Amino acid sequence: MTPALRQIPLFLGALVLLCPLSGCGLVSYTQTPQEEAAPLFDTEPVRYRVDIRVEGEGLSSLRSSMERHSQLVQLRSEPPDGMLGLERRARNDKQTAVKLLHSLGYYDGAAETTLSEPEKEGGEAHVTLTLVPGPRYHIGETTLSYRPAPGPLPSFPGLNPEPERIPEEFSGLPPNAPAEADKVLASVAEVPQTLHQGGYPEAAVSSARYTLNKTEKTLNADMTINPGPAAVMGDAKIQGSDNVKTDYLKGLVTWQDGQPWDDRRLQQYRRELQKLGLFRSVDVKAAPSSEGSAVPGESYIKLPVLVNLRETSFRTVSASARYATDTGMGVQGEWQHRNLFGAGEKLTMKLPFAQDKRGVQADFEKPDFGDRDQKLLAGSSYLREDTDAYDTTAFNAYVGLERKISSSWWASAKLFGEEGTVTRSSKDEYRYASLIFALRRDTRNDIMNPTQGSYVQWDAAPTTGYYNGEFSGVSAKMTASGYYAPFDDDVLVLAARTSLGSFMGVSMENIPPSLRFYCGGGGSVRGYSYQAIGPKDRDGEPLGGRSFHEVNLEARFRVTESIGLVPFIDGGMVYEEEMPRLFSDFQWGAGLGLRYFTPIGPVRLDVAVPLDKTSDDRGYQIYISIGQTF
């Protein structure tokens, strides 16, 4: 049989096999519509309620802590996609709960979750997270050792604060105290930090071992410290100061040469440099011990301080604007150089241009003048003032010293002189010189927007001069303000201020109008025109007075992160007598302010009305400026 004939049986057999599969229609194929694949998981958002339970009594704080860390609680307003997503959140919360229990000393603690699906379509699922704390572990045996032993340091009496002593045990971990992880780790980290403040800048933990005693329910800690070489403080090695004199910066160092090493001095020096406003970045750190120099006959080394700086621009140009219905629109341009001669000298030029004031003003500050906490002040101005009380054109100049007494106290003495012309009913010349003594205390946390602290300033100025005859007397003034936030988030700040002053030994006729006291306006008693409160002349123009008293009260509500509302009430009066009659014959104003908080301070809009309105007073006043009123 030929090969072709032998293939015939095979071909016929294949046809026989295909007939049943094809419906005996030889080989045919009919395509049927494919069914839509059912989704593998339900992805509809599932709303849910969550219940956190803690087994045991007196553990409500544990439940509150879990609520703060719970995804189920924090993301409740964002429903997960399906029950699978909800299960994932519950599983994460279970792990978080166990970690939380361990961190608080419940090392045998466990957690369980149960989920119930919604009873009806569109309903809420129910998640229960149960914490089972078990017994709480406490601090057991703690061991602190040094290898090698710390080297000796020189005696250096009179330091404030004194160098820290070598710790012999963990602070903050008394026996039987709860074994809370944060406190344990903080106590361990405190040991090398203390050594850094007591002569050992490279001290570090070389080994730390923590063990649990399941029987006694205690946590035991065993730590070894390598103190590194004992060191004293040396010179500051300054880099990056191209335009600021290094001798000036070295004069600001906060340590004495050869004193035991103290990291706190580095932090103080960093703050001193940052306050200068001359650098973009300031990095102050200890040099490595390899750069230290041996001290003959001693086992300790002298270590330099590495200071790396990046200078900023020393010149700035700025402008500000204000508006008030009583004084109109005002603008002021300002140019400042903060490193005029290479040692932080500051020169500020101001050009006010407003309805009530125009001219030019220059102020100069020389820091560290004769002493690191003392500065030289000098300045001069040529100004024209046009107010309802007087019109003046005057030149003045001053020079003085200001000294920082402590962290919150300053004292100053300044010689001030002014000469010019003043116009009321007639144009007259005047001149005077004052020796101004000032003492102030300032603990405010923010000058532009204080929320806590206080401010007090006393001024006394013996003055002599000429106006309608020779005169001599003493001007005195006191201002005090305080700020209180009853809630931690500063959503409400209660602010109060009072000011009073007196010009003694001079009759009203001899006091130049620009030296008299006035009340009324945006920085005084809002609701009244500038200088409008107090005695008037026959034409109804303000005369000013020899004494005054003012009170300002505000409640500063922060409605949102950037918006605030401030209801306020102000009161004050000017008196012709030498001594003010406190709260006597006050004229009061009240109003509401809007604050828009910006990085440079709040933008202020105040609308005020006079509560003791006279025929000369407007029905309201509007004030727009930057910064809180006080």
Q: Are 260 and 232 in contact (CB under 8 A)?
A: yes
pLDDT at 13: 43
Tell me how far apart the alpha carbons of residues 556 and 567 are, in angstroms, rounded to a whole number: 7
Proportion of the chain above pLDDT 90, given as a percent: 80
Q: Is 160 exposed, middle or buried (0-12, 13-18, 19+ CB in 10 A)?
A: exposed
Q: What single letter denotes the amino acid at residue 598?
A: T
pLDDT at 40: 47
More confident residue, 239 or 601: 239
Q: Is 98 exposed, middle or buried (0-12, 13-18, 19+ CB in 10 A)?
A: middle
List pLDDT tens digits, range 88-138: 999 999 999 999 999 999 999 999 999 999 988 888 999 999 999 999 999
Least Cα distance to 365 among 409, 400, 320 occurs for 400
The CATH topology of domain 137-312 is Ubiquitin-like (UB roll) (3.10.20)
DSSP code, position 599: T
* HSE (side-chain half, CA atoms, 13 Å) at 562: 3
Least Cα distance to 263 among 284, 279, 294 occurs for 284
281, containing H or E segment:
strand 279-286
pLDDT at 21: 33
Confidence of residue 184 (pLDDT cuts 50, 70, 90): very high
Tell me how far apart the alpha carbons of residues 548 and 311 are, in angstroms, rounded to a whole number: 47
Among all chains, which residue has been given the structure tokens 């906060």? 254
Tell me how far apart the alpha carbons of residues 91 and 63 are, in angstroms, rounded to a whole number: 17
Coil, strand, or helix at residue 242?
A: coil
pLDDT at 12: 38
Same fold, 48-132 and 137-312: yes
Tell me how far apart the alpha carbons of residues 485 and 491 are, in angstroms, rounded to a whole number: 8
Least Cα distance to 87 among 54, 53, 50, 114 occurs for 114
How far is the CA of 296 from the CAs of 39, 157, 299, 301, in angstroms? 83, 21, 8, 9
pLDDT at 42: 53
Q: Are 593 and 604 in contact (CB under 8 A)?
A: yes
Coil, strand, or helix at residue 326?
A: coil
pLDDT at 424: 86
The tokens describing 197, both together, are 């403040």
Confidence of residue 529 (pLDDT cuts 50, 70, 90): very high
Tell me how far apart the alpha carbons of residues 395 and 359 are, in angstroms, rounded to a whole number: 10
pLDDT at 97: 96
DSSP code, position 290: G
Q: Which of 6-10, 162-166, 406-410, 522-526 has the lowest mean pLDDT?
A: 6-10
- CA 556, 558, 562: angle at the middle one, nearest 5? 125
The tokens describing 471, both together, are 């005169």
Confidence of residue 73 (pLDDT cuts 50, 70, 90): very high
How many CB atoms sit inside 10 A of residue 398's CB?
Answer: 17
Distance of CA 207 to the CA centre of its chain: 38
More confident residue, 121 or 527: 527
Q: Which of 3-17, 33-47, 70-84, 138-152 has the lowest mean pLDDT?
A: 3-17
Q: 48-132: which CATH number, 3.40.109, 3.10.20, 2.60.40, 3.30.1240? A: 3.10.20
The domain limits of the chain are 48-132, 137-312, 315-626
More confident residue, 302 or 26: 302
Q: What is the mean pLDDT of residues 10-16?
A: 39
Q: Are 562 and 498 in contact (CB under 8 A)?
A: no
Q: What is the mean pLDDT of residues 300-327?
A: 93
In the sheet with 204-213, reading across from the earlier edge strand, the strands are: 138-146, 218-226, 204-213
**Which residues are within 8 A (CB) of 118 and not within 5 positions of it... i.e. 6 or more apart?**
46, 47, 124, 125
Q: What single letter denotes the amino acid at residue 439?
A: L
Q: Are 578 and 546 in contact (CB under 8 A)?
A: yes
Confidence of residue 43 (pLDDT cuts 50, 70, 90): low
pLDDT at 224: 96
Q: Are 451 and 445 in contact (CB under 8 A)?
A: yes
Q: What is the mean pLDDT of residues 158-174?
A: 89
Longest dimension (CA), the chain: 154
- CA 528, 532, 534: angle at the middle one, nearest 5? 115
List pLDDT tens digits, range 445-480: 999 999 999 999 999 999 999 999 999 999 999 999
Q: Are 80 and 86 in contact (CB under 8 A)?
A: yes
Q: Does residue 517 register a pLDDT over 90?
A: yes
First to last CA, the chain: 121
Coil, strand, or helix at residue 449?
A: coil
CATH code 2.40.160.50 for 315-626: yes
Coil, strand, or helix at residue 232?
A: strand
Q: What is the mean pLDDT of residues 397-414?
A: 96
Q: pTM of the entire structure?
A: 0.75
Q: Does residue 345 register a pLDDT over 60?
A: yes
Q: Are 92 and 79 in contact (CB under 8 A)?
A: no
Q: What is the mean pLDDT of residues 373-394?
A: 95
Q: Does residue 562 register a pLDDT over 60?
A: yes
List pLDDT tens digits, range 223-276: 999 999 999 999 999 999 999 999 999 999 999 999 999 999 999 999 999 999
